[in-house]
Structure 1
Amino acid sequence: TYSPLEYFSAFTLVTGVALFTLGDAAGGSVNFNPIGVVLITLALCVDALTSNFEEKVFFRVGKPSSQAEVLGYASLLGCFWSLIQNISQGELGPALAHASEHSRVIPSICAFSVLGYVSVGFVLSLIKYFGATEAEIVKTLRKVLSIIISFALFPKPLNWQYVVGFAVVCASIYLTTKAKKIKREQKALAGGA
């Protein structure tokens, strides 16, 4: 179970990321769309639920699964559903024709697949050894770091939403660390009593 502080920490994390997104809107970004904000928010929520589900079902049981096992079955299931979708929407034939006509894309597709596999393997390791909360923090920090790098590569004006969003994300990390410390201390007291 999660403490009220952990729930508040998760709320602040989502708020910080939302402020970053709203910073793009305030900056007059031509690509900004409110539907995108809704979809990103839903993606963050589903992502968090997935990590918690994986932690409880695969790693916090009597006989935990290995990361390779979880990743193997998830990849197999993903390939199956992608194949069904591509066939049902009539996209498989054109995709295969494009790949045979432009064979130079095949190594890029393979490299992207390998990097995706390694990335998910790292996330599963984070969940297994540190927990879903820490995994979500690392994933969110990666997203924030991507935004910061985009400022360096594609300069744009800094506004208050970016600054406050970054501060709120940092506050969330502090709150999560504090909540974990409190939980460890309570567990130690309960074990020693």
Structure 2
Amino acid sequence: IMSGGLLLYLKPRRSKSTIIYEYSFPSISNMLSSWCQYEALKYVSFPAATLFKSFKLAPVMAMGKMLGNKEYPQYDYVVALFIGLGITMFMSGSEDLEFGYDVHGEKASAAWTGVMLLGFFLFFDSFTSQWQSRMFQRHRDLSMIELMFATSAFSTVLSFITLVHSKELGPALSFVVQHSEIHLHFFLFSICSTIGQLFIFYTIKNFGAVVFAIIMTTRVLLSIALSCILYGHEVGSTGFLGLMVVMGAVCYRIKRKAEGKQLIRWQGIGDEKAMELVQEWHEHADM
């Protein structure tokens, strides 16, 4: 509804070359990535899940090679390697990753399930960004608002079909009716989500990807710190060192990307750069 309202208000040019089924692919992958992301929180801590998302550089590069035959600078591969090393150190120092069994013969740790779900999240999320970039490359008349609306519309329809098929539509509606206070939560969530995406687009278009990457990296650190303080997540010395390795690798990549470029770009980029905008958005937005 929110993206539809924006479409009517902003009235961007309509794409005449896109085929409607093309929007379904990023919609499905986006739904699957969201499910994996939230389901993983049942098995791993929020700091671990947040830091794990920093590794999305590797699957994004792999998917870019597969779908778009893209080339990446050598330092990206080195950064991805160090991020993976840092995440491994953090997970081993903060999560129970043992495969042992308790006295009842059940697995003592389910953290590996969370790791697997986060891996699927990275896969589906990287596919979403690369497919959308591919759409912008193939359809030069496609606007960001139209893509946002079409993807959201497909997600709404597919979510409805899923609820009906799984027989969860009735219980879901019953829950919404019985708990009227959730209406405000839904409304605020939709407003914040839509406005947040617009701010992301605006930041990348007007200030550049480097500034956006710095903001998102700072957000990761603050999110992990607040989660540890508020919910008592314990991070050992190995985990802390792993966190520093990941943040150091991310900051090094930001520095390399900023070389020879103006840090803050006050003049926005045009729609012809929409493919680059989507790439940067997916690379950092869920960190």
TM-score by structure 1 length? 0.72
CA-to-partner distance for each residue in 1:79-98, whole Å, 9 max, x for gaps? Answer: 11101100111111121122
- Whole-Å separation in 2 of the counterparts to 1:136 and 1:51: 16
Which residue of 1 is the match for residue 6 of structure 2? none
Give yes or no for contact 1:12–1:168 (8 Å, CA) kept in 2: yes
CA-to-partner distance for each residue in 1:13-54, whole Å, 9 max, x for gaps? Answer: 3443443333331599x9852110121133234334433443
What amino acid sits opposite 1:34 in the alignment? W
What amino acid sits opposite 1:47 in the alignment? D
Give yes or no for contact 1:16–1:166 (8 Å, CA) kept in 2: yes
1:23 paired residue among 85, 89, 93: 93
What amino acid sits opposite 2:176 in the alignment? A
Flag structure 2 segments of 5+ consecutive residues without an equivalent.
Answer: 1-70, 99-107, 262-287
- Whole-Å separation in 2 of the counterparts to 1:53 and 1:169: 27
Q: Secondary structure at the match of 1:63?
A: coil
Give yes or no for the alignment of 1:179 onto 2:256: yes
What does 1:1-193 correspond to in 2, within 5 Å?
1-26=71-96, 33-58=111-136, 63=140, 65-125=142-202, 130=208, 142-181=219-258
- Whole-Å separation in 1 of the counterparts to 2:202 and 2:182: 30
Q: Aligned in 2, Cα 1:42/1:7: closer, same or farther, shift over 3 Å?
A: farther
Give yes or no for contact 1:6–1:179 (8 Å, CA) kept in 2: no
- Whole-Å separation in 1 of the counterparts to 2:141 and 2:203: 14
What amino acid sits opposite 1:19 in the alignment? M
What amino acid sits opposite 1:83 in the alignment? F
Once superposed, what is the RMSD of the aligned Cα atoms?
3.5
Shift of 1:176: 1.1
Q: Aligned in 2, Cα 1:18/1:176: closer, same or farther, shift over 3 Å?
A: same
Identity of aligned residues (%): 25
Structure number with the higher helix fraction is 1
Aligned pair count reads 181
Q: Secondary structure at the match of 2:235?
A: coil
Name whichever of 135-144 and 147-156 sits farther off.
Answer: 135-144
- Whole-Å separation in 2 of the counterparts to 1:24 and 1:7: 26
Shift of 1:144: 4.3
CA-to-partner distance for each residue in 1:41-81, whole Å, 9 max, x for gaps? Answer: 332343344334434533x6783643322221121111111
- Whole-Å separation in 1 of the counterparts to 2:260 and 2:138: 20
Give yes or no for contact 2:96–2:109 (8 Å, CA) kept in 1: no
- Whole-Å separation in 2 of the counterparts to 1:42 and 1:183: 36
Q: Aligned in 2, Cα 1:155/1:100: closer, same or farther, shift over 3 Å?
A: closer
What amino acid sits opposite 1:108 in the alignment? H
Q: Aligned in 2, Cα 1:27/1:33: closer, same or farther, shift over 3 Å?
A: closer
TM-score by structure 2 length? 0.51
Name whichever of 156-165 and 12-21 sits farther off.
Answer: 12-21
Q: Secondary structure at the match of 1:158?
A: coil
Q: Aligned in 2, Cα 1:10/1:123: closer, same or farther, shift over 3 Å?
A: farther
What amino acid sits opposite 1:11 in the alignment? L
